[in-house]
Amino acid sequence: MSQTQNPETIPFVDLVAQYHRYKGELDAAIQSILESASYIGGPANARFEKAFAEYCGAKYAIGVGNGTDALYLILRTLGVGPGDEAIVPANTFIATAEAVTLTGAKVVFVDVREEDALLDPTKLEAAITPRTKVILPVHLYGQLADMKAILAIAEKHGVVVVEDSAQAHGAEEHGKRAGSFGRATGFSFYPGKNLGAYGDGGGVVTNDAVLADKVRRLANHGRAEKFGHEIPGVNSRLDGLQGAILEVKLRHLDTWANERRAAAKRYTAMLADVPGVKGFEVRSEKAHVFHLYVVRVADREGLKTHLASRNIQSGIHYPQALHLLPAYADLGYAKGSFPIAERLAGEILSLPIFPEITEAQQRRVVDAIREWQTKGGAR
Ligand SMILES: *Cc1c(COP(=O)(O)O)cnc(C)c1O
């Protein structure tokens, strides 16, 4: 996550620019924690949890150590464990699957849709067995998965839906936001996420009072009181510093989402006449918060190398479908099991996007893509 010193470089994400934009507020929040020694939990954390639950349109939010733990703690609380199965899209960050693996349950992958790289609801039913406990749709790149279709199938089969909203803080559809569709939702506040702390952080959001209470205890050594350990839990708490920083940043999250949407719109317009480079479908303006702006291109490595030669950073989310990673080799999925996720993994490239990105920076990115394309790069 370190920032480059070369002023010519267009960074993939510019967290230093964001810090300077809100330096006064952020410094004051950090100072308040140092002056009050509320390093773990504390009043700023409690205020942030309340504000974040409200932001998501849900009743409860619990700050935890990171986004992976958020999902793991939800699954543990739901009683997911050995002998159970949980459905995860084949194209996501490995953390979604890891949260399942940590419980001892088995990961079952499902392919994604060609048009938006999101979990394909039409392929869900074939993956559901009597052992299926949970479906974990991922709002990948910042766009909400097809929750209406997924919830309908889950309900029909009596399966719980847990959202992975690590990339989609504030994404909204039918008047509901990420974090208010499923039984519970895991958020990440990793620094580079749309709402990012200055270290690791995560959140569990839910309307279920019992689940919220259990997650809070499980994340704090299985206790509600100092030595009243009711169950063996874990230590996964949000730092007071992170809570204070997130409380400040949450106030600006909608502004950033709109700036990301505007930047995405500019990219889409600028790339419209560049052959061989295409984006994903956007269902509606509000449903997408553009954590990432991802394009598809046949010679992805060629374009990535060319951009790097022009001092433009880019990313790949993700270079390998999960079922083909060494980490999940033991599940026995063959190549070709999920053809769309596999094809996308070889073609996707994430262009620089962050709230502060300028039109001039985007123009440079697109000019570089065009330069590569006219040299024959797209063929
Ligand atoms: C970042 C991320 C996570 C995990 O978050 P951490 O805070 O890094 O543990 C989970 N799922 C997805 C889709 C993510 O992008």
pLDDT at 86: 98
Cα–Cα distance between 39 and 29 in angstroms, integer? 12
Short-list 100, 147, 109, CA closest to 128: 109
**How does pLDDT run across 107-116, given as a tens digit for each residue?**
999 999 999 9
Q: What's the average model confidence in pLDDT over 286-304? A: 97
Q: What's the average model confidence in pLDDT over 374-378? A: 76
Kindly state if the Cβ of 97 falls inside 6 Å of ligand 1.
Answer: no
- Is residue 373 a contact partner of residue 274, using CB atoms and an 8 Å limit? yes
Q: What DSSP string describes 111-153?
A: -B-TTT-SB-GGGTGGG--TTEEEE--B-GGGBPP-HHHHHHH
Peptide bond into 55 cis (omega under 30): no
Kindly state if the Cβ of 93 falls inside 6 Å of ligand 1.
Answer: yes
Min mean pLDDT across 7-21, 248-262, 338-352 is at 7-21
Short-list 17, 43, 49, 15, CA closest to 29: 43
Ligand 1: centre distance to CA 163 (Å): 12
Ligand 1: centre distance to CA 268 (Å): 26
Q: How many residues are given for the chain?
A: 379
Coil, strand or helix: which one is 220? strand
- The tokens for 289 are 């918060």
Please say if the pLDDT value at position 3 is more than 80.
no
Q: What's the average model confidence in pLDDT over 101-123? A: 98
Q: What's the average model confidence in pLDDT over 261-276? A: 96
First and final C-alpha spacing in the chain: 33
Q: What is the mean pLDDT of the chain?
A: 96
Half-sphere exposure in the Cβ direction for 44 (13 Å, CA): 27
pLDDT at 32: 97
Short-list 335, 314, 339, 316, CA closest to 325: 335
Cα–Cα distance between 308 and 326 in angstroms, integer? 28
pLDDT at 41: 87
Q: What's the average model confidence in pLDDT over 223-227? A: 85
Cα–Cα distance between 314 and 294 in angstroms, integer? 10
Nearest CA to ligand 1 atom 2: 166
**How does pLDDT run across 165-192, given as a tens digit for each residue?**
999 999 999 999 999 999 999 999 999 9
pLDDT at 5: 57
Please say if the pLDDT value at position 1 is more than 80.
no
pLDDT at 167: 98
Ligand 1: centre distance to CA 371 (Å): 34
Q: What's the average model confidence in pLDDT over 12-30? A: 96
Maximum distance among all alpha carbons in the chain? Answer: 68
pLDDT at 225: 84
Split at pLDDT 50, 70, 90, the class of 377 is: confident
Kindly state if the Cβ of 77 falls inside 6 Å of ligand 1.
Answer: no
Q: What's the average model confidence in pLDDT over 290-294? A: 98
For ligand 1, what atom is nearest to the CA of residue 139?
13
Please say if the pLDDT value at position 6 is more than 80.
no
For ligand 1, what atom is nearest to the CA of residue 200?
7
